[in-house]
Amino acid sequence: MLQHVLDMNFSPSAHWLDFELGENSIGEYLTVILVLLGVLFLKRFISVLVSRLIYKIIRKKPELSAVRTFENLLTKPLEWLITLLVLYFSVSQLDIPTAWHLDSVEKPGLLRLLSKLFELTLIGAFTFLILRLLDFFAIEFIEREDKGKQYMIDKQIMPFVKELLKIFIVIVAFFFGLGFVFELNVGNIIAGLGLGGLAFALAAKESLENLFASFTIFLDKPFAVGDQVTVNNITGTIEKVGFRSTRIRTLEKSFLTLPNKLMIDNALENHTLRTHRRADFILTLEYGTSKNELETFLVRLQAMLEQNPRTSEESLVRFFLFGESGYNIRLLYFVDTNDFNEFQKIREEINFEILTIVAELGIRLAYPTQKIQVQPF
């Protein structure tokens, strides 16, 4: 190497960029370095431009919010992809010094190892890009569903389908890497996996049961994301339905994960689907209340419930039991709302009207009392 440098022509006509070092000129080294530095510095800017170009190809009428979402999802994988491609094409322009005694890419050695690593990384970057595109389309489907447009895939099924497609894409990328990079027979590998499928199914029996339960949930649709349900004495709001489990936000605001099999094997009450809320309670009048006062009170209560525009015609007021402290009267009515807070407000209004009727009739509500009679000795 030193002799080679001493033998170089240092005449005034020779430019220093033409001097060779390791079978490549200094100008070629500088070109590669400047290109790599430029890409590293401008990779985000280039990625944003490329993502916008891809979005214009996919959507003819771009929306600002959708474009930004698309950019945020695709910028990182595009940065990786652009960096890898520029690195490969830049370094491939340089000649490998013969003094290193490296074998060609076709033979086992360092170059072949580096080539395989690059191919694997490139496949990983492409897979990352496809997964991010899938995330974007899933977001678009859900947003359009929220705007009231009719689509076959609703926002409950879409996350499940998205995760299923992601698993499929990763599996395809894995086998593609085995076949393309390592030149393995993918067909034989898949056949070998089929032989072990039974053992795997037996080992993953519970997971498979939950997976099939998730399909049952999507086909039967006993609940949807956002519904309030009660299952296995647990009440909460459905936040996500996954492959194995369903996530529920309880009334105490805790985050609970239940297996899908439990969701379909137990009795489940969907509070969101009901049209009315029921109020059912007992009023007790003192035993000193006369028969006429009791009958008048029942008629007034029944009329009050029937005249209320928010209660249904199925209202019921009955004197049904002689209690320990007085006459027990049962009130049962339905309020035409599913909102819990609104139901409590209407129920409060009815309670105040009951107190008004009690005051107008001059009767008294009973409270638990106990008489003790002492016999003289």
Note the pLDDT tens digit of each residue in 51-101: 888 877 777 666 666 777 777 888 888 888 888 888 877 777 776 666 555
Q: Highest mean pLDDT: which of 30-39, 119-128, 132-141, 217-226? A: 119-128
Average pLDDT, the chain: 78
Per residue in 258-289, pLDDT (tens digit) is 888 888 888 888 888 888 888 999 999 999 89
Compute the average pLDDT of residues 369-377.
Answer: 69
Q: Which residue has the tokens 């960029």?
A: 17
Per residue in 234-261, pLDDT (tens digit) is 888 888 887 788 889 988 888 888 888 8
Task: With H, G, I as helix, E, B as strand and everything else as coil, classify residue 289.
Answer: coil
Task: Work out the angle between the directed axes of helices 157-180 and 186-195 (0-180°, nearest 10).
Answer: 120
Task: Work out the angle between the directed axes of helices 26-58 and 64-91 (0-180°, nearest 10).
Answer: 150
* Residue 98 per-residue DSSP state: G
Residue 298 has pLDDT above 90, yes or no: yes
pLDDT of residue 1: 41
Question: Phi, psi at residue 179, to the nearest 5°?
Answer: -80, -45
Task: With H, G, I as helix, E, B as strand and everything else as coil, classify residue 7.
Answer: coil
CA–CA gap between residue 70 and residue 47 (Å, rounded): 11
Asked which of 35-49, 147-161, 162-176, 246-260 is least confident by mean pLDDT, the reply is: 147-161
Per residue in 302-323, pLDDT (tens digit) is 999 999 988 877 889 999 889 8
- Do residues 331 and 318 make contact, with C-beta atoms less than 8 angstroms apart? no
pLDDT of residue 330: 94
Q: Partners of 283 in the beta sheet?
A: 329
pLDDT of residue 39: 79
Give the rounded percent of residues in the chain with a pLDDT score beyond 70.
75
Could you give all domains of the chain from N- to C-terminal order, each with its CATH number?
A: 17-95+104-186 (no CATH), 205-270 (2.30.30.60), 277-361 (3.30.70.100)
Compute the average pLDDT of residues 205-228.
Answer: 78
